A = this chain, B = another copy of it.
Amino acid sequence: MDEFDIETVADPALEAPVLIEGLPGVGHVGKLAAEHLLEEFDAELVRRVYSEHFPPQVTVEDGRTTLACAEVYAIETDARDMLVLTGDHQAGDGPGHYRLTDAFLDVADSFDVERIYALGGVPTGELVDEPDVIGAATTDAFIDDLEAVGVEFRENEPAGGIVGISGLLLGVGERRDFEAACVMGETSGYLVDPKSARGVLEVLQEAVGFDIGYDSLEERAEEMEEVVKRIRQMEQGSTPSEEDLRYIG
């Protein structure tokens, strides 16, 4: 295997698609949002990106193994075609993040992507009842478009910048002439956060122009509310069941 091995699974003709990235990160917000898109639409797997910069690992499902990879799906809608990038891993090393990002941008290039949305969470350090959606972008035009659909752009947030693949899709993406934005839901940083993911998707829906339901995310959000309730009980003495703990990310 070379440093990268990009498998072409399908090659649909998309019209000016946007790239939407949701890899693991704070509160799993980006990944939850990306997975929800794949559930709601008739998504088609188009690329698998394997790389020695991913952990040396296979996942196992029903006995069948899958080599660590990122996946790119195509979604065709009446309004706007989309590519959704998701997976289970960030890179294992610093230069690997840069090189993986370049590989992802190569895929985006091959589909003539112009705009990139990196989805994620921004940690607040405390439980948030009504999470805002914060943004950062590479161009003023993109900022204007996102402000118009309710994304907040703040003077010094996120204070620590944006790290990992999401950050580099903006940073390296800009160097390669993509317009890119990061759309981040506020989240505690301690728990998997479907509610924050829904907030992110609601502004994305406006920005990109699609229409989806949120029942499954809503259900998961309610499960998490339950978990939070039990954690608060725990702090007051009782013990959670194993099932509760499964949701803590």
- Identify the A interface with B (CB < 8 A): 1, 3, 5, 50, 52-68, 91-99, 101-102, 135-138, 140, 143, 153-158, 161-165, 167-168, 170-172, 174-176, 182
Contacts and interface: CB of A to CB of B under 8 A. Distances in A.
Nearest to A159: B60
Name A's interface SS: mixed
A216 to B, nearest CB: 20
Contact of A94 (B55, B64, B102, B154): B55
A172 B62 contact: no
B136 A65 contact: yes
A155 B56 contact: no
Contacts of A68: 171
A56 B167 contact: yes
A205 B60 CA distance: 24
A58 B170 contact: yes
A65 B174 contact: yes
